[in-house]
Amino acid sequence: MTSFFKNPIMAHGADPWMYRHSNGNYYFMISLQDKLDLWSSKSLSAIAQGKRHTIWVPKVSGPCSHNIWAPEIHFLKDRWYVYFTANDGGGDETRRIYVLENKSSDPMEGVWEEKGALNTQYAGLDGTVFQHRGKLFFLYAGYGNYPDYGSALFMTEMINPWTLGNENILLSKPEYDWEKRGGMAINEGPAILKRNGKIFVIYSASTTWTEDYCLGMLTASDLSDLMIPESWTKSSQPVFKKSVQNQAIAPGHNSFTQSPDGREDWIVYHAITETSGEKLDLTLRSTRAQKFGWNTDGTPNFGEPVSCTKEINVPSGEE
């Protein structure tokens, strides 16, 4: 294997989710619209060449039969779960987040059982999960107050990996101009980072079809009550945004992982190489990966998107 790679790591890959498990494998998923596929590899940078397995195909019709988006694989309570967005082919009001469970030790094997739609307070998309102080928390982008905004971020505690508590708090709604580009005010695609005594929610802002799609950040102390909205502070500027010269338009909907030896932090995200008029061609989104660092105040520093022509050192410990 070479000692470097170039972006993109997958030529067609929107809403990328990368998860490094304790067995040394990376598991990877993207939005495929009509099914759920899972990739597995020891290599982060060469995930596209890894094993690929279709784990779920929807029925022809029904509540989760169309628009299969933003799948994420998680290992919770010694079982595998995949959370994904789907609807019945209708409008936003039918969009829900669904969950599958697999009891096998290897998510590439075993049976994926449908556990149904999560009982979110609002219709929505882009569900994610994290564990903290013995509790499970669920975040999603909900359509809770339209037309004031297209979507906002909500959070709730989980009773178990497929059942939510009753309280859905409003974590973040679009407030700044950079969250309202493309004709709608959008907060979506939350992803969690935990480090330096803090919890960060990195989210996507503005519409997916605008070249100004970017990443924002919420921060809370890991000692605070996370279900109190005042525990969270929103950054007033994007923390990751487009670089035309580096062929990274509309960077967003990311996930986080680490190098095989655990020494480096990596962001995995999608972007488009070139602009294409007033609305971007979303079929051109590709998956990119790059290492990031940390500021002196303990917050992440993602820098700018790396050029598609730049040779990037493979993650530390990758063979």
Contact criterion met (CB below 8 Å) for 97 and 115: no
* Active-site entry in 72, 126, 188, 265: 188
Answer yes or no: 72 catalytic.
Answer: no
Query: What is the distance between the alpha carbons of residues 85 and 186, in angstroms, rounded to a whole number?
Result: 17
**Residue 280 class from Cβ within 10 Å (0-12 exposed, 13-18 middle, 19+ buried)?**
buried
Q: How far is CA 84 from CA 47, 131, 261, in A?
A: 20, 18, 29
Query: What is the distance between the alpha carbons of residues 78 and 89, in angstroms, rounded to a whole number?
Result: 34
Structure tokens at 84: 């994904």
Query: What is the distance between the alpha carbons of residues 87 and 11, in angstroms, rounded to a whole number?
Result: 26
Cis peptide before 300 (omega within 30 of 0): no
Query: What is the distance between the alpha carbons of residues 245 and 131, in angstroms, rounded to a whole number?
Result: 38
* Active-site entry in 15, 72, 212, 264: 15
Query: What is the distance between the alpha carbons of residues 231 and 182, in angstroms, rounded to a whole number?
Result: 30
Contact criterion met (CB below 8 Å) for 27 and 21: yes
Answer yes or no: 78 catalytic.
Answer: no
Residues assigned a catalytic role: 15, 188
